[in-house]
Amino acid sequence: MSKVIFHTDARPVDFIRAALPVAGEPLLDARRRPLHDLRISVTDRCNFRCTYCMPREIFGSNYQFMPHSDLLSFEEIVRVARVATGLGVKKIRLTGGEPLLRKNIETLIAMLVRLSTPDGQPLEVTLTTNGTLLAKKAQALKDAGLNRVTVSLDALDDRMFERMSDSRISVSTVLRGIDEAARVGLAPVKVNMVVRKGLNDGQILPMASRFRHSGHILRFIEFMDVGSTNGWNLQEVLSGTEILDRIGAAFPLEPVQAGYRGEVASRWRYADNAGEIGIITSVSQPFCGDCSRARLSPEGKLFLCLFASRGHDLRTLIRAGGSDADLAGLFAGIWSQRNDHYSEIRGRETAKQQKIEMSYIGG
Ligand code: SF4
């Protein structure tokens, strides 16, 4: 396989034959990490203004969100997904912004679940949401074929939740969404809590208590320096170990084996069989070594890391009439050159980088 450097005006033909992996072989990046997950951001809009992701002072009423015409259509998204499954993707996660704000998202889900991997396995299609629209949409998402949902919930206390999400939505709205998702079979529901030391860390034990014996999997996420607008500060990071110590002191825990290489959360179960939790430690224990995730932005750029500064344009090729083979070559070429490992090199130098916003590319 010859290395080809390209830019947004790449002419598809030259590129194709150089990059495709041997059939059945995983597509490896420059650190020999196989492509496994594709996270697709379907909108840069959200009805929350979480302070660690979309601070209102930046994303205020005058903020220019992407015009609809810039967004990839459902057909274009499915083309990229189909090509990606041919290159090894086994799992697709729909994100945003808030993906349930994208009109008729059920239609996209129904199109995606019809895809299968080269060995005929069904593609796993999941979605991450803030839960505000979930109670209303859960049945339709399930009927469309969605496998599971992950719901963000950073506190049980309404006032703290308002401070974290900078919204007037109540915790009960999100909890109703979680219950309805479980009722219709979008389970196990994963619940993600971002922990900001000195702000909502007092909610760790109430959240753990609330979801014990629920069948849902609560995951605690270290506060990350995503994007360039959330005022991140290492002093506000409560490490995964500290979070585990707090929970373990109240409810003894045992480690659980990872489900597959590249699984984001380290897994723990309650010793009294009250269920499972996860810890996501991008800051204190980076997991770049097994990172198998590519990210597609709403307007069709491929990003290779959550902390990337720039993406690779796929839309130009798609709208220029490139074939699936062209697209596969482009995608494979981009991935095969991937060398990202931001969390392993986080420090003074990386702090100066202008990074993409998580509200645009999804978590
Ligand atoms: S920092 Fe980038 S390379 Fe590392 S795990 Fe996160 S997304 Fe993957």
Q: What is the pLDDT of residues 8-42, one digit of tens each?
A: 444 444 455 556 777 778 899 999 999 999 999 99
Residue 261's pLDDT is: 78
Residue 259's pLDDT is: 81
Question: Quick check: 187 and 318 in contact, CB under 8 A?
Answer: no
Give residue 341 CA to ligand 1 midpoint distance, Å: 5
Closest C-alpha residue for ligand 1 atom 4: 288
Give residue 35 CA to ligand 1 midpoint distance, Å: 13
Ligand 1 within 6 A of CB of 288: yes
Whether the predicted model's global pTM rises above the 0.85 cut: yes
Residue 117's pLDDT is: 84
Give residue 321 CA to ligand 1 midpoint distance, Å: 32
Domains of the chain in sequence order: 2-361 (3.20.20.70)
